Each structure stands twice: as structure tokens, then as C-alpha cells.
Amino acid sequence: MAALRALLACVRAPLRPWLFCPVQRSFASRAAFEYIITAKKGKSSNVGLIQLNRPKALNALCNGLIAELNQALQAFEEDPAVGAVVLTGGEKAFAAGADIKEMQSHTFQDCYSGGFLSHWDQLTRVKKPIIAAVNGYALGGGCELAMMCDIIYAGEKAQFGQPEILIGTIPGAGGTQRLTRAVGKSLAMEMVLTGDRISAQDAKQAVISTELSGVLRVQDTHCLCLFEIPPRTAEWLRCPRGLKTNSLVSKVFPVETVVEEAIQCAEKIASNSKIVTAMAKESVNAAFEMTLAEGVKLEKKLFYSTFATEDQKEGMAAFVEKRKANFKDQ
């Protein structure tokens, strides 16, 4: 009997860890994420939280990060306990754009044949509401990612922009379409053609503004944005309740400086690649002639086309090498 008990002990010993395998796999699947952090929040654990986690790269959107984001979104979509999802980044950056080092060597053929960025818009197909909580930079692909969400909450230091023109390309994940619908043609065209950013305080340019207890509420048919704005700033913005305003103008200047300011804006635009600028303008204008789906499709084709230009190669190389681009309009 003693020998039998010893034998049973030997057989059972290696089996014990396997009793905990499901739990180990569950934790491993979370720990396996390299670029994001996921959790369940709320008193009833009914909110899925996804945090972009590439702080050293300011949450640059590499292929691995987007793949993990899509995986997490699918998991929360299939989780019956989760009713909504929050997508956020860090204090310095929500996401500072696509990973330029990863894409700079792409050709037009690579983009077109491989459907470059086609997997970025899975977020728009998620049925559960998604709230973007934006702090710091939301630039390029980061701005596009935020605009894909249903609601945007932004801290007072948040900055939004589509600076792709500065590196010889244009937005490729809906930026020219969603931004134009959100802020109007004039401001969208200025942002896309100059690469300039707007802050939370610049929300006076948005389509529908309502002042609610010290917080500026910015809303349009595609997304709702709540900007944490001090009461004095909100008063300065002069947004009466229910005021609807299209952004007919981008900025207002004193009479004596308006011409000089316009010249400075034109100089910024003229310093970029002329061929890529023409593509960017065509894409923004299409937002008023097409449905969102059609506009995004055209934008992607024009975006791919920039990769057939020498200016795209020069722009991205200059960005990586931290020098000023020397565009040749080719």
C-alpha cells in the first residue's frame, strides 16, 4: 500500500498545475498585449477600457498596435457583460499618428495591393458605443482614430491635427472626410493643407456648440466632444445654448493684420509638396460631394497615390532623420 501511495503521489504531482490552466491562459492573453492595456471598469465591470501603451513613441500607431486594438475591441464586443468601451492613451499623447518608420519605405503598389490601413476602421463597425478619452496629442492617425469613435472627451491640453502634408502625404484613414464634416470646409482645409493643430480652446470652430455648466459641448452628426474648458474661456467663446454655426471662416484677425496673416498661411501651404497639396484639396472637397463611405474610399486611393511620388519618400525620410523636407513637387 505504501508503494501504491507513493506511485499515486508521483502521478498526481505533475497534474496539479493543469487544474489552473484556464486561469493561467486568461491572464496570459492579457499580458500578451505588447502595445495596449485592457481592463474592465465601472462598479459593475460593464465598461471595457483600452489604453494605447507605446509611451516612448507617443503611442504611434504601428501595425502591431492596431492588430491588438482590433483584437481587444472584438473581445469586448463579444463580452455580454460589457455595454460600452473607452479608448484612451497617455497624458502626453492619445496617439501622435501612424508609425512613420514603419511606412516610409512603402510603394504605391504595396499600399494598393496590400490594402494598407484597411484594418484601421474595424472600430467603426463595433456595435457597442466607443468613447475616446483624449489627452495630449491626437495627430494624424491619432486624430482619425478619435474621430472614428462615437463620443470624444478631451482634456483642456488636448491638441488635434492632420499634419500628413508636412511629410509628403495626406490623411489615409478618413481624416479629410470626418474632419470636414465635423468642423466645416474652411477649418478642415486649413488644417489639412498646413498641418496646423487646434486645441480644445479652438472648439469655437465646430459645427454645433452649447455651453453647459463650464464645459463646452461640441456636437455634430458623427461625434460628440466634451472639452474641459474653464468658465472664462467658455464665456470668451460666446457659445449660446443651441447655437448652430457652420465654420464659414477659419480665423478672425484685426483689420490691419488680416492680409499679412493670410499671406503667412499661404506661405505654409506653398512650402509643402504641390502635387500632394492638390491631392489633399481634392479629398477635402469630395466630402461635400460624396457619402462618407464613398469619400473615405476616394481618400484612401489618393493616399495610396502619394506613395508613388518622390515627395512622399523625401517627406518621411526627413521626418525620420529629423530634418526639414526638401520637396521637389515630383
Catalytic residues: 98, 141, 144, 164
Instruction: Answer for the pair 93, 141: CB distance below 8 angstroms, yes or no.
Output: no
DSSP secondary structure, 171-208, as one string: --SSHHHHHHHHH-HHHHHHHHHH--EEEGGGGGGSSE
What are the residues facing 98 on neighbouring strands? 61
Distance CA 288, CA 177 (A): 9
Residue ranges with strand state E in 89-147: 93-95, 130-134, 137-139
Q: What are the φ and ψ backbone dihedral angles of 6, each rounded to 5 degrees?
A: -65, -40
Distance CA 315, CA 310 (A): 9
Look at residue 297 and give its three-state secondary structure: helix
Look at residue 245 and give its three-state secondary structure: coil
Distance CA 74, CA 41 (A): 17
Contacts of 39 (CB under 8 A, 6+ apart): 48, 49
Instruction: Answer for the pair 108, 307: CB distance below 8 angstroms, yes or no.
Output: yes
Instruction: Answer for the pair 83, 127: CB distance below 8 angstroms, yes or no.
Output: no
CB count, 10 Å around CB of 82? 19
